A and B are shown apart, each in its own frame.
Chain A
Amino acid sequence: MTTLDNFQSAFRAASGVPFHPESLNFSNIALISDVNESVAQLLNDQVHQFLAAALPYSYEISTINSESYQSVTNMLTAIEELTHPASLICTYRNLYNRNEDLPESLGSHVDVLTQRVDVPVLLLPRPDRVDLTQLSLKEVMTVTNHLSGDNHLISVAAHFTPEEGKLILSHIEDETAFERYEQAIGRIPAIPTESSTSAIKSQLLHMAEQFISSCEHELGEQHFTIEKHLEFGNPLTKSKDLCSEHQVDLLVLNSKDANHVAMDGPAYELAVEMRDIPVLLL
């Protein structure tokens, strides 16, 4: 007789994971730089220009520049003392390390900032490396290995996708990690190896696909296209490939992990590697 578990699995598979869009507003933005007031104002205009495509409503950018802080602690204090609490923080990597734009690091200011604040951090390319006036905002991509159920990630990414733009939802399952599970399953006589690993692989991608269908349904009125990429592979390599293939203008990642204070591993790798495009860290 078919078991309870069989049917429960079938119904759970059919139920999918619904997307619940979140209502967001980024009307108070803080721009943190390591330059003086006048240069910071120039940066302010460039950021304004960049964000205008995605944020059609009015927003205010407050600058926190070298005249307000130097150390990490002072930076955090300056953020807390803003007249209007920031709902988005813009900055760039290796603050106060201008002479050494170290490609392997984001710098201590950004490392701590992303973990201490509760708002998204938009990591722009360094102004001395990339001309921010040349940045456009048409294609936005999310990168995660756990897309299903991540309403916040998709909501933020959708918020920053302009009309007539493209939102790319990518879900990259770590193939190396899965191979370990495959090996373990292969050593359990009671579990048929081939069929079970094939079913699990297929179901992992299917869950993400169902979630994306729900996103398409909920975001249908937003006037931008949604594209999906679901596959197994090396998350970092695949993400970089997708970025260059699609000429992504903004990458959106989850950077926090509830179990530790450091930036979430995959997010850190990507944020470090993607030096020339803006990365929105949640």
Chain B
Amino acid sequence: MYTLIASADVPTTVTVIFSIFLTGLILCLALEEKLHAKKSVIAGSFAVICLLAGAAYEILPFGEVGIPSVPATQETDDHVTDHSEHESSHTVAMPVYIPAIDWGVIAIILGSSIFVDVTTKSGLFTWIAIKVTKASRGDPRRLLIFYGIMTVVFSAVLNNVTAMIIVGSLTVVSLERLGIREKLLAFLLIEGLLTNIGGLLTLISSVPNIIVGNAAGISFVTFFIKASPYVVVATAITLYLGARVFKIDKLKDEDEKNRAARQVMQFDENDGITSWAFFRFSTVVLCLFIITIACTSVLPYVKDLGMGYVALSFAMIMLLRYRSTADQFYRAVDWDLLGFFMCLFAVIYVMEWAGVLTAIGTGMKQILVAPGSATANARDVSTMLVGAAGFSSVTDNIPLAAMLANILEVELQTPPESKLWWSVIFGANLGGNITPIGSASTLVAVTIMHKQKLSMSFSAFIKAAGLFALVQIVLALAYVVLIL
């Protein structure tokens, strides 16, 4: 999507001014809760200011946008189709901020969001969740393991926040039923941490993956093959540590085991299913969705249309079931998140033209030894991973991922096979486990804790999650440096 932009003519003072805007945006996003402002409003406000300032300082590329006439394709690594070699036969007038937005990312998020919402209505996820609960037979240790695995899988297939909402709500109900509410805080904390590990499993599991993966040209299958071993090991270690630290033990007494089993067997997994036909249909379509997304880079025609098209198409297929009331799902879309992305992309676009990203890239070149090399050295990988994790823990990982993706691709010309891309991916995801504001899903976990009157302050979270985050990041470092 990005082409090399000549920002060398931009005066230093202009770059400094826009750096201040960027810092302001990042700070405001970090203080989102304190400001009582939605992300989209924060990003939107800064987008308005930056675009106006960009126009005033005459740094923005106003003018018509060229549309290629001959749809010959030139394939890059996996799925990106490059038309840039062809002359445009016609141009189109459009606002300067429209090409700034990565509409592929927007399409993936919008399509997946509607798809997941409609599929949820079939009762499929609650059915799976209750089946898993019953399989545990109420044993706390087994329940933790099963819920942990379910969290990772749901995070990978749905998104982190939805996964945390589903598993978190079920955890509250099932632990209350089992009479082990004192373990609720531990369960919710571990599940919150696992959402960010599950968010590493596939290309579409989290937004940083989509942004960075797209920029690096990493396909769905490649992403899965490279990330899954880490996810499996990190999940196992997190569950093991969680069980040890929070003393979540197996039931020993036969009477206790029978009583616990009787309690969970009372759950009725079929309770929420209003239409078995739609349930079966959703199951089939979900499987098809995952397969199609995985094969997007090899499917004829679909590979040119991209993953966003796949996500939107499957959303439309599911909406056929609710064709007369589709508007209820449009209302339920997280427009704040989509608005945030669009405004964020606009801000980053302006920053690009203002030379801010070039300046950051130059700074990074001072720190990194060989960022443009296909075989990034261990020091660069560690610096990037730890740096990304650190930033991601205190501010939103999406602007971080968006900026770093741009810098690595454009400024540092990092090749697609470089491990630096993976450093950003791992760092952006795992950083969310260090603080409660590091990721939306851990924020949901803390929200559930507070709703259940469980005390978990900012510092208490860091203290409780610190060991887990440290182990996960160290493991990621070793994995990226030595294995990937």
Which residues on A are within 8 Å of B, measured CB to CB?
1-4, 7-8, 10-16, 18, 210, 214, 217
Q: Return the chain A residue nearest B161 by Cβ.
A: A1
- Is A14 touching B177 in the complex (CB atoms < 8 A)? no
Q: Which residues of B contact A16 (CB under 8 A)?
A: 266-268, 271
Chain B interface bracket (under 10, 10 to 19, 20 to 34, 35 or more): 20 to 34
Q: Return the chain A residue nearest B270 by Cβ.
A: A14
Q: Which residues of A contact B333 (CB under 8 A)?
A: 1
Known: A14-B268, A18-B263. A7 touches B447 (CB 8 A): no
- Is B173 touching A1 in the complex (CB atoms < 8 A)? no
Known: A1-B117, A7-B170. A14 touches B267 (CB 8 A): yes
Q: Which of B173, B262, B266 contacts A11 (CB 8 A)?
A: B173
Q: Which of B129, B168, B262, B271 contacts A4 (CB 8 A)?
A: B168
A-B interface contact total, Cβ < 8 Å: 68
Tell me if B96 counts as interface (CB < 8 A to partner A): no
Scoring B126, B173, B272 by chain A CB atoms within 10 A of each residue's CB, the highest score goes to: B173
Nearest chain B CB to A1 CB, angstrom units: 5
Known: A8-B172, A12-B173. A3 touches B269 (CB 8 A): no
Q: Which residues of B contact A214 (CB under 8 A)?
A: 266
Nearest chain A CB to B45 CB, angstrom units: 23
Q: Which residues of A contact B448 (CB under 8 A)?
A: 4
Interface of A is mostly: helix
Nearest chain B CB to A71 CB, angstrom units: 47
Known: A8-B169, A214-B266. A13 touches B120 (CB 8 A): no
- Is B173 touching A8 in the complex (CB atoms < 8 A)? yes
- Mark contacts of B331-358 with chain A using CB atoms, 8 A cut-off: 1 yes-contact digit, 0 otherwise: 0111000000000000000000000000
Which residues on B are within 8 Å of A, measured CB to CB?
113, 117, 120, 123, 126, 129-130, 161-162, 165-166, 168-170, 172-174, 177, 262-263, 266-269, 271-272, 332-334, 444, 447-448, 451
How far is A4 from B271 in the complex, measured between Cα atoms in Å? 18
Interface of B is mostly: helix
- Is B332 touching A2 in the complex (CB atoms < 8 A)? yes
How far is A20 from B272 in the complex, measured between Cα atoms in Å? 24
How far is A8 from B171 in the complex, measured between Cα atoms in Å? 9
Nearest chain A CB to B120 CB, angstrom units: 5
How far is A64 from B100 in the complex, measured between Cα atoms in Å? 93
- Is B268 touching A210 in the complex (CB atoms < 8 A)? yes
- Is A7 touching B113 in the complex (CB atoms < 8 A)? no
Nearest chain A CB to B458 CB, angstrom units: 21
- Is B169 touching A7 in the complex (CB atoms < 8 A)? yes
Q: Which residues of A contact B170 (CB under 8 A)?
A: 7, 11
Q: Which residues of B contact A8 (CB under 8 A)?
A: 169, 172-173
- Is A4 touching B120 in the complex (CB atoms < 8 A)? no
How far is A1 from B451 in the complex, measured between Cα atoms in Å? 19
Q: Which residues of A contact B269 (CB under 8 A)?
A: 14
Q: Which residues of B contact A3 (CB under 8 A)?
A: 165
Scoring A2, A3, A14, A16 by chain B CB atoms within 10 A of each residue's CB, the highest score goes to: A14
Q: Which of A1, A11, A210 contacts B169 (CB 8 A)?
A: A11
- Is B267 touching A1 in the complex (CB atoms < 8 A)? no
- Is B266 touching A15 in the complex (CB atoms < 8 A)? yes
Nearest chain A CB to B271 CB, angstrom units: 4
- Is A13 touching B272 in the complex (CB atoms < 8 A)? yes
Q: Which residues of B contact A10 (CB under 8 A)?
A: 123, 126, 169, 271-272
Q: Which residues of A contact B120 (CB under 8 A)?
A: 2
Q: Which residues of B contact A217 (CB under 8 A)?
A: 266
- Is B165 touching A7 in the complex (CB atoms < 8 A)? yes
